[in-house]
Structure 1
Amino acid sequence: MYIDTSFGKTHVIICGPKDAPPLVLIHGMTVSSTMWFANAPEWSQHFRVFAIDIIGDFGKSECTKPISSPEDINIWLDEVLDTLDLDDIFLVGHSMGGWISLQFSLNSKRVKKLVLLAPVMSFASLNWKFPFKLFPAMTAKNAFFIRALYKWMFAKHNAPDEILYQQFYKGYKYGKIQLRVVPKVFEREELESLKPMTLVIIGEQEVVYSSTKKAVVYADSFPNIKAKLIPNCSHCLPAELKEIVNQLVNDFLLN
């Protein structure tokens, strides 16, 4: 369905039993809600799933006014949830979607439990290599650089999904980013105010942090946050180790 907001039409994919608890999914940047192809079939057995295409990104949402601040993010997401009549939600975000989910949860009373999958920055600064992988793909729109970026975000022994790559490629080739918010590492004082119980899942071979260990240790130092490091995967962990990620999320949200 499409939802009208102050920033344009927001595309949402909905599945699962209508009377099940609401689970809202926020995808990573430069993809779309179809990144949840490996997870939604499992989670929708227990939850009413709402996968939201971030406005201003490469999905089906139609941006008429760019999101330019964290306050804009909160206004936009509140408008979407108001239209869907959703409160007391379970919220899951990946990468930039994880940062957005954490930012929203710090400023909202709507989130019952929060899951962050490799949230970009948030708990540790960015790997210096990341811009050198991202910018050639964004500016040259060349298949070589786009595939190199895609493969870099998977652990070496994991085969990137080709169908997902084709969408990733087309987004970079033809899409335009209008999401103008730069993520940050949250200060201790900010994270101490986080209300919902939170699960952070990060792959051992993660590439976006300057220090994966630092990110895990910092996240795990807060009473409401439990950080878990899982082996044999990198930044695209929802697709790389779908069985493990799906089970960890189910166990956390259902108990």
Structure 2
Amino acid sequence: MSTTVRKTPAPIYKSEAGAEAITCRYREVLSDWPIPAEQLRIPTREGETFVLASGPQDAPPLVLLHGSGANSSTWRGDIVSWSRDFRTYAVDLVGEPGGSAPSRPKLDSDAVALWLDDVLAGLGISSAALLGMSLGGWTALDYAVRRPDRITRLALLCPGGVGKQRYGWILKEILPRLAGRHDVRRSAQTVTGLDAAHLGPVLDDIALTFTHFNPRTERLPRFTDTQLAALPMPVLVIVGDRDVMLDSAETARRINTFVPNATVQILPGVGHAILGQTDTVLNFLRTPTTVH
């Protein structure tokens, strides 16, 4: 009789002390959150999911999904504006360094969509606008492909799964690492494209996270032309032309070519981290949907 050996998932943190350091920093951010927010814990098939809810209870729902190696602190510069018109739900993705369970549902399956089904059900949401960044953008797009009737609008910042993933930046980081000169903060600047002179605190937080956190390593599944062409909702995509992680030119081309109701913006001189787009996103979300 054969037995099945279940593989134990790798821990998402490098040490318990590192996990505590990241958790403490997140607590500090939440204690200084710019608007009143409910801290919700939603049970799902992947474990407990942490959600920050803000804005009028009767306003249209807007679900926010951050990127890899991040949490809902991603939205602290946007949340005040967005929560005036929407009931915002900033969701901490499972398996990332936030307040949710360490589970990592397989990306090449419907597991992520099923998890988000549970989150929305726990929040009492039948349909909503979705906004995602990077891995969160992939998650939002995956859900929109699988549940198109549940998404009213889709806003994507540097989304994965459309343009090719790039790995050249990794090669530039290998030699310093081998020589014992690895600088996590410098790597964070390379990947994000952020200006250290003006966004030093943001880079410090990213460096703290990746000193102690083990990110996902699998390749993001790519969406097919047919899947993109079937999206019925208005879609906004914003990418930076200096993104070292994703081919932003290909992302823009494929969205423009295949998505029927898409608006694409390419930001010159901007890397993978898309910041300062609060008003652009808000204007898109506020625009009445035209019925054909």
Q: Is the 8 A contact 1:68 1:181 kept in 2?
A: no
Question: Structure 1: 5+ residue runs without aligned partners?
Answer: none
TM-score normalised to structure 1 length:
0.85
Equivalent position of 1:251 in the other structure: 283
The residue type equivalent to 1:40 in the other structure is I
Cα offset, 1:62, TM superposition: 2.0
SS at match of 2:125: coil
Within 1, Cα distance between the matches of 2:197 and 2:272?
13
The residue type equivalent to 1:219 in the other structure is I
* Residue 271 of structure 2 is aligned to residue 231 of structure 1: no
The correspondence for 1:84, drawn from 115, 123, 148, is: 123
Deviation per CA, 1:3-58: give whole Å up to 9, x if none: 11111111111111111111100001011110111111211111111000000111
Q: When the two structures are aligned, how many residues end up with a matched partner? A: 244
Cα offset, 1:66, TM superposition: 3.0
Equivalent position of 1:168 in the other structure: 206
Could you tell me the percent identity over the aligned residues? 26
Cα offset, 1:146, TM superposition: 2.1
Equivalent position of 1:114 in the other structure: 154
Q: Is the 8 A contact 2:237 2:264 kept in 1?
A: yes
- Compared CA separation, residues 207 and 66, structure 1 to 2 (3 A): closer
Within 2, Cα distance between the matches of 1:162 and 1:77?
33
Within 1, Cα distance between the matches of 2:270 and 2:81?
20
Q: Is the 8 A contact 1:106 1:195 kept in 2?
A: no
Q: Is the 8 A contact 2:69 2:210 kept in 1?
A: yes
The residue type equivalent to 1:170 in the other structure is L
The correspondence for 2:95, drawn from 35, 56, 61, is: 56
* Residue 139 of structure 2 is aligned to residue 100 of structure 1: yes
Question: Structure 2: 5+ residue runs without aligned partners?
Answer: 1-39, 288-292
Find the structure with the greater CA-based Rg: 2
TM-score normalised to structure 2 length:
0.75
The residue type equivalent to 1:250 in the other structure is L
SS at match of 1:90: strand
The residue type equivalent to 1:54 in the other structure is L
The correspondence for 2:256, drawn from 191, 200, 220, is: 220
The residue type equivalent to 1:163 in the other structure is P
Question: Aligned ranges for residues 1-255 of structure 1 at < 5 Å?
Answer: 1-63=40-102, 65-69=103-107, 70-108=109-147, 109-120=149-160, 122-132=161-171, 144-155=182-193, 159=197, 161-177=199-215, 182-210=219-247, 212-222=248-258, 223-238=260-275, 242=276, 245-255=277-287
Within 1, Cα distance between the matches of 2:151 and 2:213?
31
Within 1, Cα distance between the matches of 2:270 and 2:171?
21
SS at match of 2:188: helix
Ranked by relative contact order (alpha carbons within 8 Å, sequence separation 6 or more), the top structure is 1
